[in-house]
Chain A
């Protein structure tokens, strides 16, 4: 005869309320784990989605996610000449905070190497990828921009032609995809006045030197459009990404590019490593510790609940001992209730979580692996927390029936 079930059936209201409490607690544990998982996943999401084999960054730097990295645009062409390289494209990424419809909006501006990369790999939920070299963007739904909406960034208006889902940066901001040119324009956008001032400054610099006085044409040249000046550097990009031909040897490509003194090459895995060990490391450890603390607290709370459930049954347990019930009967009563409480709490946590977590501002990623871990944790909590109750039950003397 199963005593645990019969006791619950008798005191079902209390058991339901307790289960709800445990369920809410476990939901928080699950959420904490989900936030942790979301943080880690968001951090490496872009690297995974972009799916490049190699990341070529400024010499001696750790890449665009860890610090500022600048490489020339033409590195793209140099890399195409390396044996085994299938394609290479620029990576431009910077965060801007502008105003749109009177509200602040944070966009991680992400450059796509038009026309090689039109964003075919983006997880679109509506619209299309980039269809022209300029003035189009694909926005993540987190940015709150609608399909067809126009947003002014700098001097120009950009039209949202596609909307993605789940494309966020390591800090949880939504990504916006533009052509590399547009992305650079948005970043290096300067006002007309500063352009005029810069030209004036160039003119006076040239005039302050002998050659400027001898060659009036040079003065005129110095005042013209920046891109027409051979002496000025072209805009830089953050990194260049390389995809190798299938079957090409990654080691060979790495050793060739490593020979170049102006850049450093990393594999995608190394890039991810830098992110997890560097940029998000503290946040990750903080969340990890907090989750662990929550698990311990849940175990303590559940232990106290099981303990009070046991206290309520002292008289009955004494009676069971009096009529000679074996310890396994008493242990079963306590442990089964504890496990049932854990199981119901777990299921409740799962359902509440699937309703609540998607409404959170940052991603709470509950994977099936995470759910498995949680199940194991709940199982352990249930067993460990019943220890206090079992200990109490074992101490009960049969003559307590008479008190």
Chain B
């Protein structure tokens, strides 16, 4: 029970206090210790990436071996390139030409294409769904037009004052809202951090 409950809290508390101390205090040995703890965290994160990949393989292996035909295809579509890239990376290294070729001509092209499709969906959605039915929708439309057209070159072409208004929107109301959000978020993080350090927040135990 100690190993499952108290020990993780103790490790988290000690590690957290060292890192916090290293950030706020100037003692060189404390800073060195904090730096060491942080470097452990980056190593753990690298292992987490491997763990994530293994989980991905497990889930998609199950899909590919026992799912519907479309699920099998989807599972294989993920597993085959993943295995190919891992094999190339392990045998030739990630700086090899063949690795760069696969990255550029498979991953990069595919990911950019999928992301670019958003533009087509936006146009279609703008035409079909954006109906100005009330004052709120009209206000949203005007604000959207200013925010979208202002920074674009066509904005200055249509009306010279549009970039000026867009800049004002960005630097006054938008910045005010962002600051409020950031401050709220920071307070939330401090609160959550304190709860985690003290062992009150135990979500990372996996729901037990």
Pair from one complex: no
Interface residues of A (CB under 8 A from B): none
Interface residues of B (CB under 8 A from A): none
